[in-house]
Amino acid sequence: MRNLLGPTALLMIVLGSAAVARAEQRAVTDPAEVANIEIAAATVGPAAGTRDEKLEMVALVYGPMPAGVALTGDGRVFLTFPRWSDAAKWTAVELLKDGTLKAFPNEAAHDRKSGADAFDSAQGIDIDSKGRIWLLDPGSATLRAFDGKTGERLKRIELSAEVKKVATYANDVRVDPTRGPEGFAYVSDTAGGGVIVVDLSTGDSWRRLNKSKSGRADEEVTAMVEGKPVAMRGNVDGIALSPDGRTLYYHGLTRRELWAVPTDLLANRESRDSDVDAGAKKIADKSSCADGICADGDGRVYTTDYEDHAVRRVDPATGEVETIVQDARILWPDAVWVHGGYVYVTTNQMNRNPRTPPFGIFRYPVDAKPTR
């Protein structure tokens, strides 16, 4: 569908939104100012009327809606703004402490008129243990790596023609720099299903789990947000790596289960698809579908449960699921990251049409080692 409809048309149609004029892209971080600004909140459903005082507003974002979030080891915050129905001048930014949104790595990288090397629509983001910032662009089906300190581009890899034979929406990315000569990346495919594996040394990529039930939407599930069914359906969306890189966790956008598979099976080109599918194990049943996920330094997995306006944590060793925070202001939580004793989460009202800025970037205290 991507090749027939264009890089972002699929999501725009499913979300039921027409493209709009570019709005000013800015953020507010001053606590005094933030405290006086109303933000959209769930009016119906399990979190309606709830407010957790420990849920802290990191920033209010105006203009296009945010999706991805990731933090460097020294606490720098990076966000992505996919060019879906809301036109974004910059599709990846650093959120500075004074509220300034700084185009990353520079403004020219976001100007599609400047050439084929510019971003089309960055969405997935990861920061690996070497401090490199990885940005996944579903519009051009490319993965780029940048030096986190200088912004220098280190790699640009386009997904293989073989991968793109299947309708593809490359949604999120997690990178293990320790596997093989230069590392491996794992990419969720919300359109084609399953996971795309990328050998960063060769640039080669291949599919796994796209025909497995665990890698696809659950046909028996209809996600509900604010008392209404969600028209958008999706296969694997959130993915996370265990701290040792040996396990990949994944969660379908329209599925109420967390799954795991050994990365040895994913990364081995000689592995049969049947063996990979058999190696996938369900970790936990949950009460809500989820969008983004991440793992903390202790190996626990956090999920953004958009039906319940909550962030939950799963212990893979026991399958225990605990609610970290549930709040009416967590209106469609998208991406999640753990840093400095907090879990960070973006919200973007994806279920609503139209959406009403500002959008919230939140954090909540947790007892956890950082994601990286």
Q: What digits encode the pLDDT tens for the residues 171-198?
A: 999 999 999 999 999 999 999 999 999 9
The pLDDT of residue 23 is above 70: yes
Residue type at 328 in one-letter notation: A
Q: What is the tens place of the pLDDT at every residue in 34-91?
A: 999 999 999 999 999 999 999 999 999 999 999 999 999 999 999 999 998 768 999 9
d(CA 63, CA 81): 10
Whole-number pLDDT of residue 321: 98
Mean pLDDT score across all residues of the chain: 93
C-alpha separations of 117 from 59, 75, 142, 272 in Å: 30, 28, 10, 35
Which residues touch 25 (CB under 8 Å, ≥6 apart)?
A: 62, 63, 64, 81, 88, 89, 90, 93, 101
d(CA 297, CA 370): 5
Q: Specify burial of residue 160 (Cβ count, 10 A radius: 0-12, 13-18, 19+).
A: middle
The band of 8, judged by pLDDT with boundaries at 50, 70 and 90, is very low
DSSP E strands: which ranges in 148-218?
Answer: 153-158, 170-176, 184-189, 195-199, 205-208
d(CA 335, CA 251): 12
**CB-CB contact of 271 with 281 (8 Å):** no
156: three-class secondary structure by DSSP: strand
Q: What is the tens place of the pLDDT at every residue in 330-361?
A: 999 999 999 999 999 999 999 999 999 999 99
Whole-number pLDDT of residue 16: 41
Whole-number pLDDT of residue 180: 96
What DSSP element (H or E) covers 19?
A: none
Whole-number pLDDT of residue 254: 98
Whole-number pLDDT of residue 21: 56
The pLDDT of residue 10 is above 50: no
d(CA 215, CA 235): 6
Whole-number pLDDT of residue 86: 65
The pLDDT of residue 277 is above 60: yes
* CA nearest neighbour of 305 among 322, 287, 320, 318: 287
Q: Which of 14-23, 119-128, 235-244 has the lowest mean pLDDT?
A: 14-23
d(CA 245, CA 257): 21
167 — phi, psi (to 5°)?
-50, 125
Q: What is the tens place of the pLDDT at every residue in 80-138?
A: 999 987 689 999 999 999 999 999 999 999 998 887 689 999 999 999 999 999 999 99
13: three-class secondary structure by DSSP: helix
DSSP state, 10?
H
Q: Which of 10-19, 203-212, 272-281 has the lowest mean pLDDT?
A: 10-19
Whole-number pLDDT of residue 35: 93
- The structure tokens 């402490």 sit at 97
* CA nearest neighbour of 9 among 88, 83, 81: 83
* CA nearest neighbour of 133 among 285, 337, 305, 274: 337
HEC profile of 210-244:
CCCHHHCCCCCCCCEECCEECCCCCCEEEEEECCC
Whole-number pLDDT of residue 49: 95
Q: What mean pLDDT do residues 272-279 have?
A: 98
The pLDDT of residue 140 is above 90: yes
Please name each of the domains of the chain with its CATH number. Answer: 2-365 (2.120.10.30)
Residue 215: CB atoms within 10 A of its CB come to 26
Whole-number pLDDT of residue 22: 67
Q: What mean pLDDT do residues 185-213 have?
A: 98
